[in-house]
Amino acid sequence: MSGKVPLLVALVLTLGATAYSIVLYPQLPDKMPIHWNIRGEIDGYGPKATGLFLMPGIMVFLLGLWLILPGLSPQNFRVANFRQAWDNVWLATTGLMTFCHIVIIQAGMHPTVDLGKIMVSGLCAFFAVIGLPLGNIKRNFWMGYRTPWTLANDKVWESCHHFAARTLFVVGLIGAVGVWLGLPVAACFVLIIAGGLLPSLQSLIVYKQMEKRGEL
C-alpha cells in the first residue's frame, strides 16, 4: 500500500480499538491482564482503564510520530526516499497494537482461557511481516538497524537490511507456526530475540570486511 491508504487504515484501527474498549467497558473486571512472560503466561495486571486504553493510547502516539518524524529528518536522510516501506512498517506496528489490544480484552473477559500461544504467535507473525519491507528502507535516523556501521556507510546499511529482511521473516514465520506445532513458547521468544540481534552483528562483520579491503 502507498499514499494515504496506510495512514487511513491505521486511523480506522485506532478508532476501532477505542470504540471496542468503550463498548465492552461495563462487561470487564476491575483488574485487567496487561503483561505476559516469556512462557506466555499472564504475570502482570492493571486497572481496567489501563487494560482498555493503554494500546489505543500507544496507537495515537504512533500516529503522531508517523506524521511528525519525516519532517524532522536531516537533508540527506529523507523518509521520502523509502516512503512506501516507512508506511508499511508503521502500519504493521499499528496492526500489532490492535492485535495485542484484542487479546488483552479477551483475556479479561475469559480469564480461564489460555491465550498465551495466540499472543506469541501474533508477535512472531509481526516480525515476519515487518521483515518484508526492511530491504527497501534507506539510511535514516528513525527506522531500521541504526548501528554505528550502517550509519557510516550506505553499502553496509543495504547489506544489513537485506539480511535482516530475510532473517526476521524466517524466524517470525518459524515462531508463528512452530508455537502451534509444539515449539515451546520460550523458545519462540529466544528465536525472535536472536533473529533481531543477528543483523547488528552482521553489519559489524560487513563493515570490518570492507575496511580490510579498503572499500570504505
The answer to whether 122 and 175 are in contact (CB under 8 A) is: no
Rounded CA gap, 33 and 17, in Å?
17
pLDDT 10s digits, 21-78: 999 888 888 888 888 887 777 888 889 888 889 899 999 999 999 889 888 888 777 8
Q: Helices (DSSP H) in the chain: which residue ranges?
A: 5-24, 48-72, 83-109, 116-134, 148-152, 154-178, 185-213
Structural domain including 92 reads 5-213
Domains contained in the chain, number: 1
Given a cut of 80, whether residue 133 has pLDDT beyond it is: yes
In this prediction, residue 2 carries a pLDDT of 54
Given a cut of 60, whether residue 1 has pLDDT beyond it is: no
Nearest residue to 202 via CA among 171, 165, 156, 142: 156
Least confident of 47-51, 134-138, 176-180, 199-203: 47-51
Rounded CA gap, 161 and 151, in Å?
12
In this prediction, residue 122 carries a pLDDT of 93
Place of cell 495486571: 45
Nearest residue to 7 via CA among 84, 78, 122, 103: 84
Given a cut of 70, whether residue 176 has pLDDT beyond it is: yes
In this prediction, residue 216 carries a pLDDT of 76
pLDDT 10s digits, 180-198: 998 898 898 889 999 999 9
pLDDT 10s digits, 98-113: 999 999 999 888 887 8
Given a cut of 90, whether residue 209 has pLDDT beyond it is: yes
The answer to whether 107 and 113 are in contact (CB under 8 A) is: yes
